[in-house]
Amino acid sequence: MALLPSKGVVISVPTLVLSVAAAATLLFFFLFTISSPSPPCSCPGPTKADSSIRTSERVSTSAEDIDWVKGLIEANGLHMQPNVLRKGINPRTRKQQLQDLLQYKGISHYEGEAASNHTALPCPGELLVEEHHSNYGEPWAGGRDIFEFLAEAARLTPNSKVLEIGCGTLRVGLHFIRYLDPEHYHCLERDELSLMAALRYELPSQGLLSKRPLIIRGEDMDFGKFGPDTTYELIYSSAVFLHMPDKLVWTGLERLAGRLKPIEGRIFVSHNTKFCSRLGGDECTKRLNSLGLEYRGKHVHDSLLFNHYEVWFEFRRFKA
């Protein structure tokens, strides 16, 4: 049987059926290709970070941090120029605060029987008004800056042990104590007032009593109370050796050499090493070598919290 179109073209029924079937098959494959998921790609792509791998936390300020602060200052229309500080509620100088503390025995304006009430461990008024923050001739906040430099330079971890020679009122030490594991910060300090400020004000005010730092009073470079087998990843002295007699500095270095961990341990001394250079010639190198120490170089640290840079001298123990 044949169909007769108006143009006179004859198309058989079987041919028409086959054409429709072929068109349906092509349409099926086209739709299947669109709806099917793509085959897995063998090319490299982003991978999910392994949560079990912990990256070390950065200690010091980064360039991005500084740029961020600059941007925020500019965005707020702030200017680096002399400004008159605006006083808060009940403004008083340190001197006026201290006078009130002494007059009212540190417990506000109570009188009579209430005037005999005291806290568990009364704090001296001089500490409460933070007079000890002015004992160094440099900003108190600079302690954080020194900590950042030393922690990065010595590649410390919270498990490291640190010894400070002359920690004063913990301007720098507070930051090490907070960063390190409990009992891992040690200090030798000679000044009684500084130690009182550290123990009675700074540690409690910063919530660091639980860190149990070992702070020893002494002025003869005797480290026996820190334990006979204690070794350190970092031993540092900030603006202390330059005020000590050369002979005492060398006595200290001789006693410290055995307490510094070989190779990775570091000693840092700030400002200058005149105790060494005054020997003349190669005598300093020879004397250091006799102690198992070697000079590693000078670091000029550009500070974020001072208006000047600091100079640090690095030493290490090259043999056990």
Q: What are phi and psi of 184, to 5 degrees?
A: -95, -5
Of 318, 297, 299, 319, residue with least CA distance to 309: 299
Q: Would you state the pLDDT for residue 34?
A: 47
Tell me which CATH homologous superfamily contains domain 139-317: Vaccinia Virus protein VP39 (3.40.50.150)
Determine which of 43-47, 59-63, 92-96, 231-235 has the lowest per-residue pLDDT on average.
43-47
Quote the CA–CA distance of 181 and 160 in Å, as a whole number. 8
Flag whether pLDDT at 316 surpasses 70: yes
Q: Report pLDDT digits (tens) over 226-239.
A: 998 999 999 999 98
Q: Report pLDDT digits (tens) over 201-260.
A: 899 999 999 999 999 999 889 999 999 899 999 999 998 998 899 999 999 999 999 999
Q: Report pLDDT digits (tens) over 79-96.
A: 766 656 666 666 677 777
Query: 153 or 46: whose pLDDT is higher?
Result: 153
Contact 217, 195 (CB under 8 A): yes
Of 238, 249, 248, residue with least CA distance to 311: 238
Alpha carbon distances (Å) from 133 to 142, 167, 191, 202, 218: 11, 13, 15, 10, 22
The stretch 99-104 carries a mean pLDDT of 73
